[in-house]
Amino acid sequence: MGSNPTIRAFGAIVRRLSVNGVRKIWISTPVCMGRKSCKIAGRKTAQDAKKSKLYCRIGKEVVSAVKKGGPNPMSNTALAAVLEKAKELNVPKDILERNVKRASERGQEAYIEKIYEVYGFGGVSIVVEVSTDKVTRSVAAVREIVKDYGGKMADPGSVLFKFRRVRVVNIKVTDVDKDQLLNIALDAGAEDVIEPPNYSTILSKLRDEEIDFEPDNGSELLPITTIEVDDEAMDLNKELMANLLELDDVDAVYTDQK
């Protein structure tokens, strides 16, 4: 495996995070830097924002599935799949029920998934995932933020090829011996190929071994390679991404910034 901090597995990447490890997916505003108390407060805020984004995205998927096939998961396979994923990601039941009801409301449209590609500072690439019931609203909002914070919209396909879609389980390296983690992943079917079907098996194995892990958001985009930039460019990119994440239609923002 070399120095690569990830374990590639069927359906998942199990990533061992060091104390100072930094994920390359931005689904919440960056943690506040400074004194310990500030870091703790910032981390809690980031975790709350992450959950909020996840619940919002799953809710949108529920609405779209119900719009297409009705509220009964027995006859609506798309809805059944969303509900199963929501269970896997520990989404509260009341959020699911609320959005099933919301889907039947007059004037509520199905959500459309869009991807916008952006050039950041220092040659950094950024991918913005959006789920919206008004495409014109979402693209206008994303363009405005990108323009205001010095980024540049990229043509479709100009950035996306630099990323690959996977599912990720995050485990603090202090919570488990790395050899134990590797053995668990291998027992669950891990090898140097990523294929979605065995993701649930990996999660079950981790639970059986009583190893705490951070649930993923369904899937993530990981950069194939990363780009190192100076402090100024890093701060500008963080500001750009944080403001994009504040948009209601934006579900996640990814970057290849190291």
Task: Tell me the pLDDT tens digit for each residue of 32-67.
Answer: 344 444 444 445 556 667 778 888 889 999 999 999
Residues 144 and 72 in one domain: no
pLDDT tens, position by position, 84-125: 888 878 899 999 999 999 998 888 888 899 999 999 999 999
pLDDT tens, position by position, 161-193: 999 887 666 655 554 566 666 676 667 664 433
Residue 203, both tokens? 């999660």
The more confidently predicted of residues 151 and 51 is: 151
Measure the CA–CA gap between 216 and 190, rounded to whole angstroms.
17
Which residue segment(s) compose the domain that 131 sits in? 112-162+221-255
Give the other-Cβ count within 10 Å of 197's Cβ: 9
CATH number of the domain where residue 147 is located: 3.30.70.980
Residues 60 and 127 in one domain: no
Whether residue 203 is contained in a domain is answered as no
Residues 42 and 99 in one domain: yes
Q: Which of 29-33, 74-78, 169-173, 247-251 has the lowest mean pLDDT?
A: 29-33
What local confidence, expressed as pLDDT, does residue 1 receive?
A: 37
What local confidence, expressed as pLDDT, does residue 53 receive?
A: 84
**Mean pLDDT confidence for 1-21:** 40
DSSP codes, the chain: -TT--EEEETTEEEEEEPTT---SEESSPPPPPSSHHHHHHHHHHHHHHHHHHHHHHHHHHHHHHHHHH-S-TTT-HHHHHHHHHHHHTT--HHHHHHHHHHHTSTTPPPPEEEEEEEE-GGG-EEEEEEEES-HHHHHHHHHHHHHHTT-EEE-TTTTGGGEEEE-EEEEEGGGS-HHHHHHHHHHTT--SS--GGGHHHHHHHHHHTT---B---S-EEEESS-B---HHHHHHHHHHHHHHHTSTTEEEEEE-B-
The residue out of 71, 103, 135 marking a domain boundary is 103
What local confidence, expressed as pLDDT, does residue 238 receive?
A: 94
CATH number of the domain where residue 56 is located: 1.10.10.200
Does the predicted TM-score (pTM) go above 0.75?
no
Q: How many domains does one find in the chain?
A: 2
Q: What percent of the chain has pLDDT over 90?
A: 43
What local confidence, expressed as pLDDT, does residue 109 receive?
A: 86
Residues 139 and 246 in one domain: yes
Whether residue 87 is contained in a domain is answered as yes
Residues 43 and 94 in one domain: yes
Whether residue 20 is contained in a domain is answered as no
Residues 127 and 81 in one domain: no
Contact 207, 51 (CB under 8 A): no
**Mean pLDDT confidence for 229-253:** 93
The residue out of 80, 103, 126 marking a domain boundary is 103
Residues 238 and 155 in one domain: yes
Residues 43 and 137 in one domain: no
What local confidence, expressed as pLDDT, does residue 130 receive?
A: 94
Residues 43 and 158 in one domain: no
What local confidence, expressed as pLDDT, does residue 22 receive?
A: 37
Q: Which of 147-161, 217-231, 232-246 has the lowest mean pLDDT?
A: 217-231
Whether residue 187 is contained in a domain is answered as no
Whether residue 186 is contained in a domain is answered as no
What local confidence, expressed as pLDDT, does residue 152 receive?
A: 97
